[in-house]
Amino acid sequence: MRPLISLESLAKRYPKAGGGETTIFENLWLSVNKGEFVCIIGHSGCGKTTVLNSLAGLERPSEGVIIVDGKEITAPGLDRAMIFQGHALLPWKTVMGNVAFAVSSRWPKASREEVERKSQAVIDLVGLTGSERKRPAELSGGMKQRVGIARALSIEPKIMLMDEPFSALDALTRGSLQDEVRRICRETGQTVVMITHDVDEAMYLADKVVLMTNGPAAMVAEIVENPLPPDRDRTGMHKQPDYYALRNHLIDFLVTGSRTFRDHIPPKYDPMKPPLVRPGATSPGTMQREDALQAH
């Protein structure tokens, strides 16, 4: 099956202050299948946001192409919805106004009732029924982020892109929003690429976790397949047999691997096909399954 998203030989360089160039990353390859929930983790500054913004079309990569559903991406589009880290709601519009703005952009010919009805449906979906007439300033951080999610969902995108969507929230709110996002994405089969710093969040939400090494010249070290069962729940997840194997694997990478990977590149490492790894009982230790990507 052809992947829905395919990043091919992506590079991003910025001119250095004293002349020359800094390479944030280069020769970066990544593919995401339809319906997959992919999390990208890596240290601050490695280029995660740059990858996501390129995918959104908000930034142009210096080299390489991004293909979504068979077409090259050169500009932002309604097939990809972005959930911004700082929610980016329009403060002069109400909750309904913010969502309706997106809906009427997606369906410019829709009648007002139609727009309102579609907006109401997603507002209900994210649990904001009753707050339609409120302005963002009257909402809590969690509610604002819910509006952001509703706005993204409302345009029925092929792909949802999230840049640390919950990092500014308290643990309790974050937890309930994670539940919400996971429920919605599972129900609708939504394809998601999400950036996070939170290992537990990645373990709960992701089907695959992309590990990025430290910048500059960051690489995709490996892609970790989530061994936890699909019907996992956030609070009971730690009782799953593979929980610690996965968690230790991710934390080991963040603590040491992200830094040392560059100096100990495995002999068979191929940037076009980063190794697919599935930690846990089903395959003790690290198992290389390079052909798994193809087989998918």
Partner 1 sequence: MTTSLNARSAAISALIAIAVLLVWHLATQSTASGPALDPEYAKLVGATATTGKSAMPGPLDVGAKLIEHLSHPFYDKGPNDKGIGIQIGWSILRVAMGYGLAVLAAIPLGFLIGMSPVMSRALNPFIQLLKPVSPLAWMPLALYTIKDSSKSAIFVIFICSIWPMLINTAFGVASVRKEWLNVARTLEVGALRRAFSVILPTAAPTIVTGMRISIGIAWLVIVAAEMLVGGTGIGYFVWNEWNNLSITNVIIAILVIGVVGMALDQALARVAQAVTFPE
Ligand X SMILES: Nc1ncnc2c1ncn2[C@@H]1O[C@H](COP(=O)(O)OP(=O)(O)OP(=O)(O)O)[C@@H](O)[C@H]1O
Looking at 11, 58, 168, 293, which residue binds partner 1 (CB under 8 A)?
58
Inter-residue contact 94 to 120 (CB < 8 Å): no
Closest separation in Å from C-beta 83 to partner 1 = 10
Q: Does the protein bind partner 1 through residue 102 (CB under 8 A)?
A: yes
- Strands, DSSP E only, in the chain? 5-15, 21-32, 37-41, 63-68, 71-72, 80-83, 159-163, 191-195, 208-212, 220-225, 276-277
User: Which one, 150 or 206, has the nearer CB to ligand X?
Assistant: 206
User: Which one, 45 or 266, has the nearer CB to ligand X?
Assistant: 45
Could you give the 3-state DSSP secondary structure of residue 106? helix
**Interacting residues toward ligand X by CB under 6 A:** 14, 24, 44-50, 215
Q: Cis omega before residue 91 (within 30°)?
A: no
Closest separation in Å from C-beta 26 to ligand X = 13
Closest CA to 126 of 108, 103, 143: 143
* Alpha-carbon torsion angle 51, 53, 59, 64, nearest 10: 30
Closest separation in Å from C-beta 195 to Mg ion = 6
Dist CA 36 CA 185 (whole Å): 9
Q: Does the protein bind partner 1 through residue 90 (CB under 8 A)?
A: yes
Looking at 49, 173, 176, 288, which residue binds Mg ion (CB under 5 A)?
49
User: Which one, 24 or 209, has the nearer CB to ligand X?
Assistant: 24
Coarse DSSP helix, strand, coil percentages of the chain, rounded to the nearest 5 percent: 35, 20, 45
165 binds, among partner 1, Mg ion, ligand X, none (CB under 5 to 8 A by kind): none
Residues in the interface with partner 1 (CB under 8 A) total 23
Looking at 2, 60, 65, 78, which residue binds partner 1 (CB under 8 A)?
78
Q: Does the protein bind partner 1 through residue 130 (CB under 8 A)?
A: no
293 binds, among partner 1, Mg ion, ligand X, none (CB under 5 to 8 A by kind): none
Closest separation in Å from C-beta 22 to Mg ion = 16
Q: Edge-to-edge, what's the strand order for the sheet holding 220-225?
A: 80-83, 159-163, 191-195, 37-41, 208-212, 220-225, 276-277
Looking at 71, 72, 91, 256, which residue binds partner 1 (CB under 8 A)?
91
Dist CA 275 CA 282 (whole Å): 17
Closest separation in Å from C-beta 22 to ligand X = 7
Structure tokens at 65: 């192409």
Inter-residue contact 116 to 132 (CB < 8 Å): no
Q: What residue ranges bind partner 1 (CB under 8 A)?
A: 56-58, 75-78, 80-82, 84, 86, 88, 90-92, 101-102, 105-106, 135, 137, 155
Q: Given the rule CB under 5 A, which residues bind Mg ion? A: 49
